[in-house]
Protein backbone atom coordinates (compact mmCIF):
# COMPACT_ATOMS: atom_id res chain seq x y z
CA UNK A 1 0.00 0.00 0.00
CA UNK A 2 1.38 3.46 -0.79
CA UNK A 3 1.91 6.03 1.98
CA UNK A 4 -1.07 8.18 1.05
CA UNK A 5 -3.50 5.24 1.19
CA UNK A 6 -1.99 3.95 4.41
CA UNK A 7 -2.23 7.39 6.05
CA UNK A 8 -5.81 8.06 4.93
CA UNK A 9 -7.07 4.62 5.91
CA UNK A 10 -5.62 4.93 9.41
CA UNK A 11 -6.66 8.58 9.76
CA UNK A 12 -10.34 7.98 9.01
CA UNK A 13 -10.53 4.92 11.25
CA UNK A 14 -9.44 6.94 14.30
CA UNK A 15 -12.61 9.08 14.33
CA UNK A 16 -15.10 7.46 16.75
CA UNK A 17 -17.89 5.87 14.69
CA UNK A 18 -19.72 3.75 17.26
CA UNK A 19 -20.84 6.59 19.51
CA UNK A 20 -24.55 7.26 19.07
CA UNK A 21 -24.50 10.77 20.57
CA UNK A 22 -22.75 13.93 19.33
CA UNK A 23 -23.08 12.72 15.72
CA UNK A 24 -22.71 16.29 14.40
CA UNK A 25 -19.30 16.47 16.06
CA UNK A 26 -17.90 13.26 14.57
CA UNK A 27 -19.44 14.11 11.16
CA UNK A 28 -17.76 17.50 11.30
CA UNK A 29 -14.38 15.98 12.26
CA UNK A 30 -14.62 13.42 9.43
CA UNK A 31 -15.77 16.07 6.95
CA UNK A 32 -12.53 18.02 7.25
CA UNK A 33 -10.25 14.99 7.63
CA UNK A 34 -11.73 13.41 4.51
CA UNK A 35 -11.77 16.60 2.43
CA UNK A 36 -8.41 15.77 0.85
CA UNK A 37 -5.24 17.72 1.38
CA UNK A 38 -1.71 16.91 0.37
CA UNK A 39 -0.87 15.00 3.60
CA UNK A 40 2.63 16.46 3.53
CA UNK A 41 3.20 16.33 7.26
CA UNK A 42 2.25 12.65 7.78
CA UNK A 43 4.21 11.70 4.65
CA UNK A 44 7.28 13.40 6.10
CA UNK A 45 6.91 11.44 9.35
CA UNK A 46 6.93 8.14 7.43
CA UNK A 47 9.76 9.20 5.11
CA UNK A 48 12.08 10.15 7.98
CA UNK A 49 11.15 7.04 9.97
CA UNK A 50 12.09 4.84 7.00
CA UNK A 51 15.25 6.83 6.24
CA UNK A 52 16.49 6.28 9.79
CA UNK A 53 15.77 2.57 9.62
CA UNK A 54 12.50 2.57 11.58
CA UNK A 55 9.24 0.72 11.21
CA UNK A 56 6.61 2.78 9.37
CA UNK A 57 3.76 0.96 11.19
CA UNK A 58 5.11 2.23 14.52
CA UNK A 59 5.37 5.76 13.09
CA UNK A 60 1.89 5.79 11.53
CA UNK A 61 -0.08 6.84 14.66
CA UNK A 62 2.19 9.88 15.09
CA UNK A 63 1.76 10.75 11.42
CA UNK A 64 -2.03 10.63 11.91
CA UNK A 65 -1.88 12.60 15.16
CA UNK A 66 0.00 15.36 13.35
CA UNK A 67 -2.50 15.48 10.48
CA UNK A 68 -5.30 15.77 13.11
CA UNK A 69 -3.56 18.82 14.59
CA UNK A 70 -3.03 20.31 11.13
CA UNK A 71 -6.72 19.77 10.28
CA UNK A 72 -7.79 21.36 13.57
CA UNK A 73 -5.68 24.42 12.71
CA UNK A 74 -7.31 24.74 9.26
CA UNK A 75 -10.84 24.51 10.70
CA UNK A 76 -10.07 27.22 13.26
CA UNK A 77 -8.14 29.33 10.74
CA UNK A 78 -11.27 29.56 8.54
CA UNK A 79 -13.59 30.70 11.35
CA UNK A 80 -15.05 34.22 11.17
CA UNK A 81 -12.95 35.28 14.20
CA UNK A 82 -9.78 34.30 12.25
CA UNK A 83 -9.46 34.48 8.45
CA UNK A 84 -13.21 34.09 7.80
CA UNK A 85 -12.79 31.91 4.70
CA UNK A 86 -15.73 30.10 3.10
CA UNK A 87 -13.78 27.47 1.13
CA UNK A 88 -11.09 24.98 2.10
CA UNK A 89 -9.67 22.03 0.17
CA UNK A 90 -12.16 22.80 -2.62
CA UNK A 91 -15.20 22.45 -0.38
CA UNK A 92 -17.24 24.75 1.88
CA UNK A 93 -15.33 25.43 5.12
CA UNK A 94 -16.30 23.34 8.12
CA UNK A 95 -18.28 26.14 9.83
CA UNK A 96 -20.22 26.82 6.61
CA UNK A 97 -21.55 23.24 6.78
CA UNK A 98 -21.78 22.54 10.52
CA UNK A 99 -22.01 26.03 12.05
CA UNK A 100 -19.40 27.92 14.06
CA UNK A 101 -20.15 26.15 17.34
CA UNK A 102 -19.64 22.61 16.01
CA UNK A 103 -16.66 23.65 13.84
CA UNK A 104 -14.91 25.12 16.88
CA UNK A 105 -15.58 21.97 18.89
CA UNK A 106 -14.57 19.66 16.02
CA UNK A 107 -11.20 21.47 15.93
CA UNK A 108 -10.85 21.05 19.70
CA UNK A 109 -11.80 17.37 19.49
CA UNK A 110 -9.24 16.73 16.71
CA UNK A 111 -6.52 18.32 18.84
CA UNK A 112 -7.53 16.15 21.74
CA UNK A 113 -7.76 13.02 19.57
CA UNK A 114 -4.18 13.62 18.40
CA UNK A 115 -2.88 13.16 21.94
CA UNK A 116 -5.21 10.23 22.59
CA UNK A 117 -3.71 8.46 19.55
CA UNK A 118 -0.09 9.32 20.40
CA UNK A 119 -0.47 7.89 23.92
CA UNK A 120 -2.84 4.97 23.18
CA UNK A 121 -1.87 1.52 24.57
CA UNK A 122 -1.61 0.15 21.00
CA UNK A 123 0.76 2.99 20.02
CA UNK A 124 2.88 2.43 23.15
CA UNK A 125 3.00 -1.32 22.38
CA UNK A 126 4.35 -0.73 18.87
CA UNK A 127 6.59 2.30 19.37
CA UNK A 128 7.64 1.99 23.01
CA UNK A 129 6.80 4.28 25.93
CA UNK A 130 9.86 6.54 25.57
CA UNK A 131 9.19 7.24 21.89
CA UNK A 132 5.53 8.02 22.73
CA UNK A 133 6.47 10.49 25.46
CA UNK A 134 9.01 12.20 23.19
CA UNK A 135 6.48 12.47 20.36
CA UNK A 136 3.78 13.83 22.69
CA UNK A 137 6.31 16.43 23.81
CA UNK A 138 7.17 17.35 20.18
CA UNK A 139 3.48 17.55 19.17
CA UNK A 140 2.50 19.75 22.11
CA UNK A 141 5.53 22.04 21.93
CA UNK A 142 5.39 22.63 18.17
CA UNK A 143 1.62 23.11 18.22
CA UNK A 144 1.52 25.49 21.18
CA UNK A 145 2.37 29.03 22.26
CA UNK A 146 5.94 28.92 20.98
CA UNK A 147 4.93 26.93 17.89
CA UNK A 148 2.04 27.04 15.43
CA UNK A 149 -0.47 28.83 17.69
CA UNK A 150 2.15 31.43 18.67
CA UNK A 151 2.83 31.97 14.96
CA UNK A 152 -0.84 32.51 14.32
CA UNK A 153 -0.85 35.23 17.00
CA UNK A 154 2.14 36.99 15.39
CA UNK A 155 0.17 36.80 12.13
CA UNK A 156 -2.85 38.48 13.76
CA UNK A 157 -0.63 41.16 15.30
CA UNK A 158 0.88 41.88 11.88
CA UNK A 159 -2.50 42.55 10.25
CA UNK A 160 -3.19 46.08 9.01
CA UNK A 161 0.43 47.18 9.26
CA UNK A 162 3.59 46.82 7.22
CA UNK A 163 5.54 44.10 9.01
CA UNK A 164 9.27 43.71 8.29
CA UNK A 165 10.88 40.61 6.79
CA UNK A 166 12.19 39.37 10.17
CA UNK A 167 8.76 39.48 11.71
CA UNK A 168 7.13 37.77 8.71
CA UNK A 169 9.84 35.07 8.82
CA UNK A 170 9.44 34.53 12.57
CA UNK A 171 5.68 34.24 12.08
CA UNK A 172 6.05 31.69 9.29
CA UNK A 173 8.76 29.67 11.02
CA UNK A 174 6.15 29.05 13.68
CA UNK A 175 2.77 29.16 11.97
CA UNK A 176 3.77 26.94 9.03
CA UNK A 177 7.25 25.67 9.87
CA UNK A 178 6.62 24.26 13.34
CA UNK A 179 4.39 21.36 12.26
CA UNK A 180 6.70 20.54 9.34
CA UNK A 181 9.58 20.38 11.82
CA UNK A 182 7.49 18.24 14.18
CA UNK A 183 6.90 15.83 11.28
CA UNK A 184 10.58 15.38 10.39
CA UNK A 185 11.67 15.20 14.01
CA UNK A 186 9.02 12.65 15.03
CA UNK A 187 9.93 10.42 12.10
CA UNK A 188 13.54 10.38 13.36
CA UNK A 189 12.54 9.81 16.98
CA UNK A 190 10.31 6.86 16.01
CA UNK A 191 13.33 5.22 14.37
CA UNK A 192 15.73 5.86 17.26
CA UNK A 193 17.81 8.36 15.24
CA UNK A 194 20.85 9.99 16.81
CA UNK A 195 21.33 13.71 17.58
CA UNK A 196 23.15 14.45 14.31
CA UNK A 197 20.36 12.88 12.27
CA UNK A 198 17.72 14.83 14.22
CA UNK A 199 19.67 18.07 13.67
CA UNK A 200 19.88 17.38 9.91
CA UNK A 201 16.15 16.60 9.78
CA UNK A 202 15.45 19.90 11.57
CA UNK A 203 17.58 21.80 9.06
CA UNK A 204 15.76 20.13 6.16
CA UNK A 205 12.43 21.03 7.81
CA UNK A 206 13.35 24.66 8.50
CA UNK A 207 14.29 25.19 4.87
CA UNK A 208 11.28 23.49 3.30
CA UNK A 209 9.00 25.13 5.90
CA UNK A 210 9.93 28.65 4.79
CA UNK A 211 9.99 27.63 1.11
CA UNK A 212 6.49 26.15 1.57
CA UNK A 213 5.14 29.43 2.96
CA UNK A 214 6.80 31.52 0.24
CA UNK A 215 5.10 29.30 -2.37
CA UNK A 216 1.83 29.76 -0.46
CA UNK A 217 2.23 33.54 -0.68
CA UNK A 218 3.05 33.33 -4.41
CA UNK A 219 -0.01 31.14 -5.10
CA UNK A 220 -2.22 33.57 -3.18
CA UNK A 221 -1.53 36.14 -5.92
CA UNK A 222 -0.97 33.96 -9.00
CA UNK A 223 -3.46 31.07 -8.66
CA UNK A 224 -7.25 30.77 -8.89
CA UNK A 225 -9.86 29.80 -6.27
CA UNK A 226 -10.55 26.59 -8.23
CA UNK A 227 -6.94 25.48 -8.45
CA UNK A 228 -6.11 26.36 -4.84
CA UNK A 229 -9.38 25.06 -3.36
CA UNK A 230 -9.61 28.17 -1.20
CA UNK A 231 -10.07 31.88 -1.93
CA UNK A 232 -7.02 33.59 -3.47
CA UNK A 233 -6.13 37.18 -2.66
CA UNK A 234 -6.87 36.67 1.03
CA UNK A 235 -3.51 38.14 2.14
CA UNK A 236 -4.24 41.46 0.43
CA UNK A 237 -7.84 41.42 1.65
CA UNK A 238 -6.63 40.91 5.23
CA UNK A 239 -3.97 43.58 4.71
CA UNK A 240 -1.10 41.20 5.50
CA UNK A 241 2.56 41.70 4.73
CA UNK A 242 3.83 38.60 2.93
CA UNK A 243 7.05 37.51 1.24
CA UNK A 244 5.49 38.59 -2.06
CA UNK A 245 4.48 42.05 -0.84
CA UNK A 246 7.93 42.58 0.72
CA UNK A 247 10.20 40.97 -1.90
CA UNK A 248 8.27 40.66 -5.17
CA UNK A 249 7.53 37.44 -7.03
CA UNK A 250 10.89 36.98 -8.81
CA UNK A 251 12.94 37.25 -5.59
CA UNK A 252 10.46 34.91 -3.90
CA UNK A 253 11.01 32.28 -6.59
CA UNK A 254 14.80 32.63 -6.24
CA UNK A 255 14.52 32.12 -2.47
CA UNK A 256 12.29 29.04 -2.87
CA UNK A 257 14.93 27.43 -5.13
CA UNK A 258 17.77 28.35 -2.74
CA UNK A 259 15.94 27.06 0.36
CA UNK A 260 14.94 23.85 -1.43
CA UNK A 261 18.58 23.32 -2.47
CA UNK A 262 19.72 23.83 1.14
CA UNK A 263 17.07 21.40 2.38
CA UNK A 264 18.31 18.76 -0.07
CA UNK A 265 21.93 19.39 1.03
CA UNK A 266 20.93 18.74 4.64
CA UNK A 267 19.94 15.20 3.60
CA UNK A 268 23.56 14.38 2.74
CA UNK A 269 24.19 13.41 6.36
CA UNK A 270 21.94 10.36 6.01
CA UNK A 271 23.32 7.06 4.68
CA UNK A 272 20.00 5.71 3.42
CA UNK A 273 18.06 6.40 0.23
CA UNK A 274 16.98 10.05 0.29
CA UNK A 275 15.57 10.15 -3.25
CA UNK A 276 11.89 10.30 -2.28
CA UNK A 277 12.54 13.11 0.22
CA UNK A 278 14.44 15.03 -2.47
CA UNK A 279 11.55 14.51 -4.86
CA UNK A 280 9.07 15.65 -2.21
CA UNK A 281 11.07 18.82 -1.51
CA UNK A 282 11.31 19.61 -5.24
CA UNK A 283 7.62 18.90 -5.85
CA UNK A 284 6.66 21.22 -2.98
CA UNK A 285 8.73 24.00 -4.51
CA UNK A 286 6.81 23.58 -7.79
CA UNK A 287 3.36 22.89 -6.33
CA UNK A 288 0.28 24.56 -7.78
CA UNK A 289 -2.08 24.00 -4.83
C1 LIG B 1 -7.67 29.18 17.68
C2 LIG B 1 -6.67 27.65 19.47
C3 LIG B 1 -6.65 28.19 18.11
C4 LIG B 1 -5.71 27.74 17.25
C5 LIG B 1 -5.68 28.10 15.88
C6 LIG B 1 -5.52 28.77 13.31
C7 LIG B 1 -4.29 28.36 13.99
C8 LIG B 1 -4.30 28.07 15.41
C9 LIG B 1 -3.16 28.26 13.34
C10 LIG B 1 -3.10 28.54 11.89
C11 LIG B 1 -2.25 27.60 11.24
C12 LIG B 1 -2.29 27.77 9.79
C13 LIG B 1 -3.57 27.79 9.07
C14 LIG B 1 -1.13 27.87 9.14
C15 LIG B 1 -1.01 27.99 7.72
C16 LIG B 1 -0.21 26.86 7.25
C17 LIG B 1 -0.55 26.43 5.88
C18 LIG B 1 0.28 26.94 4.76
C19 LIG B 1 -1.57 25.58 5.72
C20 LIG B 1 -1.92 24.90 4.47
O21 LIG B 1 -1.26 23.66 4.51
P22 LIG B 1 -1.32 22.63 3.31
O23 LIG B 1 -1.06 23.35 2.01
O24 LIG B 1 -2.86 22.21 3.34
O25 LIG B 1 -0.45 21.48 3.62
P26 LIG B 1 -3.54 20.85 2.86
O27 LIG B 1 -4.97 21.25 2.63
O28 LIG B 1 -2.85 20.33 1.65
O29 LIG B 1 -3.43 19.91 4.03
The predicted pLDDT at position 17 comes to 87
Q: What atom in ligand 1 is closest to the CA of residue 216?
A: 18
Q: Which of 38, 47, 46, 63 is nearest to 139 (CA)?
A: 63
CA angle 256, 257, 262 (to 5 degrees): 95
* 102-148 tens-digit pLDDT: 999 999 999 999 999 999 999 999 999 999 999 999 999 999 999 99
Q: Is the pLDDT of residue 174 over 90?
A: yes
Helices (H) and strands (E) in the chain, counts: 17, 2
- How confident is the model over 163-181, as a mean pLDDT? 97
Q: What is the pLDDT of residues 46-69, one digit of tens each?
A: 999 999 999 999 999 999 999 999
Residue 158 pLDDT level (bands cut at 50, 70, 90): very high
On the CB side of 125, CA atoms within 13 Å amount to: 3
Percent of the chain with pLDDT over 70: 100
- Lining ligand 1 with CB less than 6 A are 37-38, 40, 73-74, 76-77, 82, 89, 148-149, 152, 175-176, 216
- Residue 18 pLDDT: 81
pLDDT tens sequence across 74-89: 999 999 999 999 999 9
In the structure, what pLDDT confidence band is assigned to residue 23 with cuts at 50, 70 and 90? very high
Backbone φ and ψ of 147, nearest 5°: -120, -130
| Atom 24 (ligand 1) nearest CA | 37
Whether the pLDDT of residue 234 is over 90: the answer is no
Amino acid sequence: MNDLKMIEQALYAYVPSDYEYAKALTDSMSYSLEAGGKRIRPRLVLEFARLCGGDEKAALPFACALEMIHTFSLIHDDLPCMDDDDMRRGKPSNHKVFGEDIALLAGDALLSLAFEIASAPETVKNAGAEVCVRCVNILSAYCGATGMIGGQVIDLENENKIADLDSVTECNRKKTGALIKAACEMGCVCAGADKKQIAAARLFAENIGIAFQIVDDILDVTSTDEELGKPVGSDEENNKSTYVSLLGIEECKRRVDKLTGEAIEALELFNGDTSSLKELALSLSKRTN
